[in-house]
C-alpha cells in the first residue's frame, strides 16, 4: 500500500563520524519509491541545523521509511543532531530496516549493503568513497562534498533495488 500511495521513502545519510555529539550530518538523501532522490546538503561541515530541520520536514511526509541499518544509525544520528539544535525528533512512523530484514532471513557471510547488492547482482551497486575523500570533505576541498552527495544518492538507489529484490521477506513493519 505504501508503494502505491507514494508514502514509502528510502533514506540514507552521510556524516562526519558516528556520534551525534561529536560529529555532524553532511548529506541526507530521501528517495520516494519509484522517483528520483532529493538530497539535503550542508554548506559547511559542522553546520547542519538547516539540513537536519529540512530533512525532518521531508521525512515526515512519508508514512513508511526504508533504511539500511537506519534504526541503528541514520535516524538516531538525525534525532541527535535535531536535539542538539533544540528541535523535536522525527515523528515516529513505520520503518523497514532492510539490515534486520535480511540479517534474520538470509544466511550470508557478510551483511553489508554493498555485499548484498553485489551478491544479488542488482543493476545498482554501492558506490565506494576512499578515506581521502572523507578528509577532503572536512578540509572543504572543492568537489569533495559533491562526491558525498553522489554516494548518498547511490545508497538510496541501491537500497530501493535491494528492497525490490527482497521485499517478499518482510513479514511485518514496525515503528
pLDDT at 37 over 90: yes
Confidence band of 3 (pLDDT split at 50, 70, 90): confident
pLDDT at 98 over 60: yes
- Average predicted confidence (pLDDT) for the chain: 95
Report pLDDT for 77: 98
**What pLDDT digit, counting tens, does each position of 102-132 carry?**
999 999 999 999 999 999 999 999 999 999 9
Q: Options 3.40.50.2000, 3.40.50.720, 3.30.420.10, 3.30.930.10; which CATH number does 8-169 get?
A: 3.30.420.10
Report pLDDT for 173: 83
How far, CA to CA in Å, does 12 sit from each of 78, 81, 139, 171?
Answer: 10, 15, 23, 22
Q: Is 143 helix (H, G, I), strand (E, B) or coil?
A: coil
Confidence band of 172 (pLDDT split at 50, 70, 90): confident
Q: For a pLDDT cut of 70, what percent of the chain falls above it? A: 97
pLDDT at 174 over 80: no
pTM, two decimals, is 0.94
Report pLDDT for 69: 98
Confidence band of 163 (pLDDT split at 50, 70, 90): very high
How far is it, in rounded angstroms, from Cα 146 to Cα 121? 27
**What pLDDT digit, counting tens, does each position of 38-47 carry?**
999 999 999 9
How far, CA to CA in Å, does 136 sit from each of 65, 75, 140, 153, 172?
Answer: 31, 25, 6, 19, 41
Domain positions in the chain: 8-169
Confidence band of 4 (pLDDT split at 50, 70, 90): low
CB distance 157 to 124 below 8 Å: yes
Amino acid at each position: 500500500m505504501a508503494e502505491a500511495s507514494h508514502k514509502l521513502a528510502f533514506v540514507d545519510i552521510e556524516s562526519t563520524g558516528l556520534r551525534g555529539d561529536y560529529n555532524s550530518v553532511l548529506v541526507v538523501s530521501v528517495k520516494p519509491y519509484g522517483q528520483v532522490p532529493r538530497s539535503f546538503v550542508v554548506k559547511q561541515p559542522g553546520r547542519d541545523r538547516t539540513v537536519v530541520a529540512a530533512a525532518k520536514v521531508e521525512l515526515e511526509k512519508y508514512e513508511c521509511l526504508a533504511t539500511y541499518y537506519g534504526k541503528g544509525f541514520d535516524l538516531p544520528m538525525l534525532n541527535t543532531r535535531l536535539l542538539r539544535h533544540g528541535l523535536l525528533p522525527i515523528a515516529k512512523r513505520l520503518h523497514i530496516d532492510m539490515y534486520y530484514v535480511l540479517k534474520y532471513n538470509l544466511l550470508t557471510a557478510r551483511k553489508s549493503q554493498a555485499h548484498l547488492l553485489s551478491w544479488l547482482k542488482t543493476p545498482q551497486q554501492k558506490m565506494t568513497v576512499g578515506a581521502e575523500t572523507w578528509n577532503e570533505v572536512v578540509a572543504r576541498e572543492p568537489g569533495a562534498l559533491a562526491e558525498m552527495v553522489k554516494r548518498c544518492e547511490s545508497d538510496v538507489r541501491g537500497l530501493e533495488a535491494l528492497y525490490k529484490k527482497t521485499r517478499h521477506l518482510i513479514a511485518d513493519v514496525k515503528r
